[in-house]
Amino acid sequence: MESGSKRKASGEGGENSDKRAKTKKQWRVPRSNDRGAIQQAKAIQPGDSGIWATCNKGREAKCVGELRDLFAEYAELLYGDALATEKGEDSAEDEPADIESEIRAEVAGIRKPTTVQLFTPVRVDVQCVVFFKTVAPVEPVSFVKKICEDAMNHAARKRTRSVKRLSPMTLMGRATAESLDKIAAEVLAPHFHQEPFRSRKFAIRPTLRNHSVLNRDSIIKQVASVVGRGHEVDLRNYELLIVVEIYQVRHLET
């Protein structure tokens, strides 16, 4: 009897094992489109905008966590009304006309994220550096400026412990001379080439990490040539500071 019972149990177990094997096989089927989208979202691409932050060595994860909370708070402060209006317009457009439409709308609402992902942390292979991608309506320069102004005006109120410096990036591109020309022309035009013409005092601050293709002097000369004539270099009392950050060989930002 025992022998028969064991054989029976063994047979049943074999059926269950087959079912589990089939189930696992189904889960292993890759969804290439979704995976590609996720990988793209987690990588820096030409045309992106965002915010770089520096921190002490080994504190990168802590820095990301602190900035998540800080950025979420300031996004609500600066863009809360715009996001609420956009959400209201979407709700009005999606108003269901019948029961079936209402059910579909409910299902779509469950699948749809409840909040817009304004900031996406991107892992970079550089120590002491973290990066957040941004999307509209976030404008990195004015966003970081507001955070820094509040930090200066309320120095006694410590908001973060790991974050050392924030650097807003208007536009990202490849770390090549050709890309630098293109990015500089697009980013600097509204500030130096406007009509009517206005002379501005400016300074250029390039930062290079893990990069050996371009050098500091060539970057300064190239960006200054894009600024053009009629403006004055003033390293102490500048009106505009042009920040050029280069990380590794592939990425260049300004």
Average per-residue pLDDT in the chain?
81
Phi, psi dihedrals of residue 171, rounded to the nearest 5°: -155, 145
Same domain for 140 and 74: yes
141 and 164 belong to one structural domain: yes
* pTM score, whole prediction: 0.69
Answer yes or no: is 84 within a domain. no
Mean pLDDT of 21-49: 56
Q: What is the mean pLDDT of residues 193-199?
A: 93
Q: Which amino acid is at 218?
A: S
Q: Residue range 66-79: average pLDDT? A: 95
**200, pLDDT greater than 50:** yes
Each residue's pLDDT tens digit, 126-147: 889 999 999 999 999 999 999 9
pLDDT above 80 for 111:
no
Sheet with 49-55, side-by-side order of all strands = 119-122, 129-134, 49-55, 163-169
Band of pLDDT at residue 76, cut at 50, 70 and 90: very high
Domain co-membership, 26 together with 62:
no
In this structure, the answer to whether residues 156 and 216 fall within a common structural domain is yes
Select from 189, 224, 192 the least CA-distant residue to 205.
Answer: 224
Question: Any residues with CB less than 8 A from the CB of 182 and at least 6 apart, and which?
Answer: 173
At 104 the pLDDT is 72
124 and 7 in a common domain: no
> According to the model, what pLDDT value does residue 229 have?
94
Cα–Cα distances (Å) from 182 to 21, 167, 226, 233, 241, in that order, read: 54, 20, 9, 21, 18
- What pairing do the DSSP bridges indicate for beta strands 240-247 and 201-209? parallel
Per-residue pLDDT at 23: 44
